[in-house]
Amino acid sequence: MHVITLIGEDGRPVCERCEVADSPVARLRGLLGRDALPDDTAMLLRPCSSIHTSFLRFPIDAVFLDRDFRVLDVVSKLRPWRAAWRRGAHAVLELPAGAAARRGVTRGDRLAWGAPSEAATA
């Protein structure tokens, strides 16, 4: 599994430490076995159009993305033992509960791989 940074259209980081789960084993393991998800950490599952929170110990935000990393939907504070899916999703970004709202991630936003711009972090 490798780690990337995801930024929003304005150059601000959406997730500074995004773990990419792009193999079947990594997607299967996901966030299982963790007690929490630090605020600067997230997991990007791809390809993926649905998730479940069975056996998780904490709620998460699920951001459903299309092939161009455009936000299709945000499911906030998805509690353990729930499931969510979105038609047309190609990836799901799992963030700590409430992080999507704190970072201003909304439907229609386009995310990108990269480093935050200096102007956005100043």
The pTM score is 0.91
Residue type, 37: L
Joined tokens for residue 80: 């353990």
Mean of all residue pLDDT scores within the chain = 92
The sheet with strand 71-78 has its strands ordered as: 71-78, 60-65, 91-96, 41-45, 13-21, 2-7, 112-113
Strands (E), 49-90: 50-52, 60-65, 71-78, 83-85
CATH superfamily of 2-112: Protein of unknown function DUF192 (2.60.120.1140)
Kindly indicate the confidence band of residue 116, based on its pLDDT and cuts at 50, 70 and 90.
low
Instruction: Name the residue among 66, 90, 60, 92 with its Cα closest to residue 78.
Output: 60
